[in-house]
Amino acid sequence: MKGEVFRSLNLQFLSFYRKLFNPFFQLIEEMDKNTIIFLKTLLKPYLEHGIERWFYLFGMNNNENNFVHIFSPYYSHKKFRNKHNQTDYVEYLTNLNEVLEKIRKAFANNWYICPAYFTSDIYRVETFGGTFWTFVDIDFKHYINVGNEKETKEFAKKQMENIMMCDPDMIVFSGGGLHIYKQLDKMVTTKEEWLKEEAKLVECVRKIGLEPDPKVSNNHINILRIPGTINLRYKDGEKHRFVDLLYIKN
């Protein structure tokens, strides 16, 4: 029986394994698709409960910072210089098409999203409204040489079957590790509630031999990388490593 389950899993994830090692997965069309599928899945439970704002995205590199708020009832764009002589962009976007266009225009950034929603357009603990998601960040640097692209992707491949024992809703390859998402049956609205649910996912991941980043697992408003974007920390030859959506339930 166990062998049959693993054979089924192998077939289920075959397309994801191929994508992980296929150089053509870097095509922008594939990345756009990953981004939209991920964002729609992440935001779906909120929209189903009539929660439309605020959601927070952040893009950054050495020269600029992008503060993006969705779903705004209006479009707004501001640009100014900060004290570090970087360019700051503050944008209010009304829909996911505008979000995708923004990421395309500012593609040379690390891009993140917070899986929670906020009661105002200020990203702070005090404005936390609630979340439907728990998540863990598995950093491969504790296990392998993440500077080696092939070794990193091979290690990601080896972890997939074990991670399925935790019944994840999404798995994202961050460039140097994995982000594992679990959707809650109902929204939690305090950090204390979130930590109780988060502990279940952390315990499961530890049982399969991986150690979640404790800083991420103690932060209910942590930001995580968006699939379809790049990780500027890693460069393989002339190309930066892509963040990829490896698995999504259903």
Residue 223 C-beta-side C-alpha neighbours within 13 Å? 17
* Superfamily name and number for 2-248: RepB DNA-primase, N-terminal domain (3.30.70.1790)
Whole-structure pTM value: 0.86
Query: Could you list the mean pLDDT of each consecutive 10-residue stretch along the chain, which spans 250 residues?
Result: 41 44 47 88 96 96 96 95 95 94 93 98 96 98 93 93 95 96 98 98 96 97 96 88 92
The confidence score (pLDDT) of residue 90 equals 97
